[in-house]
């Protein structure tokens, strides 16, 4: 399988510079990198982006994630491996990614309050940006049919 075209962020190099700055800001936001990796992986699973799921697992393992936890991300509600903070971040990820599943308010006040109990405003900003950027790349990669394991050149 080959992509239909090069990734648009590579075709337009100024776009990649902006994306890199967003990533720097996210990882400087005070959230444990493992939580950001879980957020990325869950959004990518929901959107069916094979390239991002592959990259997410690879990146999470580099951040120290275990196979046990990575295998359970899709079923995090039923798995005993996640902290309350991780569960709040994953719930926020699902609600923010599955916008069409909700009439009116995608992120309920109760869900927001739960996340805010675990993360301060800067950390919430980092998580929301990770969710948004992941959804952004999921849409790009599924449109251009980026294969899992592909490297940008």
User: Residues with Cβ < 8 Å from 52, sequence gap 6 or more?
Assistant: 40, 43, 44, 134, 137, 138, 141
Asked if the structure places residue 136 within a domain, the reply is yes
Q: What is the pLDDT of residue 107?
A: 94
User: Residues with Cβ < 8 Å from 17, sequence gap 6 or more?
Assistant: none
Domains: count for the chain: 1
* pTM of the entire predicted model: 0.93
Domain hosting residue 84, numbered range = 24-144
How large is the average pLDDT for residues 57-82? 96
How large is the average pLDDT for residues 52-56? 96
Q: How confident is the model at residue 10 (pLDDT cuts 50, 70, 90)?
A: confident
Asked if the structure places residue 19 within a domain, the reply is no
Asked if the structure places residue 127 within a domain, the reply is yes
Segment 73-129, tens digit of pLDDT: 999 999 999 999 999 999 999 999 998 887 778 999 999 999 999 999 999 999 999
Asked if the structure places residue 60 within a domain, the reply is yes
User: For all residues of the chain together, what is the average pLDDT?
Assistant: 94
Asked if the structure places residue 17 within a domain, the reply is no
Q: What percent of the chain has pLDDT over 70?
A: 98
The CATH number for 46's domain is 1.20.1290.10
Distance CA 87, CA 1 (A): 35
Q: What percent of the chain has pLDDT over 90?
A: 87
Q: What is the pLDDT of residue 153?
A: 46
Asked if the structure places residue 152 within a domain, the reply is no
User: Are 45 and 99 a contacting pair, CB within 8 Å?
Assistant: no
Asked if the structure places residue 114 within a domain, the reply is yes
């Amino acid at each position: 399988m080959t992509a239909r075209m090069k990734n648009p962020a590579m075709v337009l190099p100024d776009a990649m510079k902006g994306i890199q700055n967003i990533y720097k800001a996210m990882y400087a936001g005070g959230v444990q990198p493992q939580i950001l990796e879980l957020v990325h992986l869950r959004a990518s699973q929901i959107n069916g982006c094979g390239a991002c799921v592959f990259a997410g697992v690879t990146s999470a393992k580099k951040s120290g994630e275990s196979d046990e936890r990575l295998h359970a991300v899709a079923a995090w509600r039923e798995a005993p491996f996640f902290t309350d903070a991780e569960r709040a971040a994953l719930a926020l990820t699902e609600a923010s990614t599955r916008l069409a599943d909700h009439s009116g308010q995608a992120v309920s006040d109760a869900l927001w309050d739960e996340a805010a109990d675990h993360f301060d405003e800067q950390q919430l900003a980092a998580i929301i940006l990770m969710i948004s950027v992941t959804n952004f790349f999921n849409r790009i990669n599924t449109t251009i049919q980026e294969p899992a394991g592909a490297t940008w050149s």
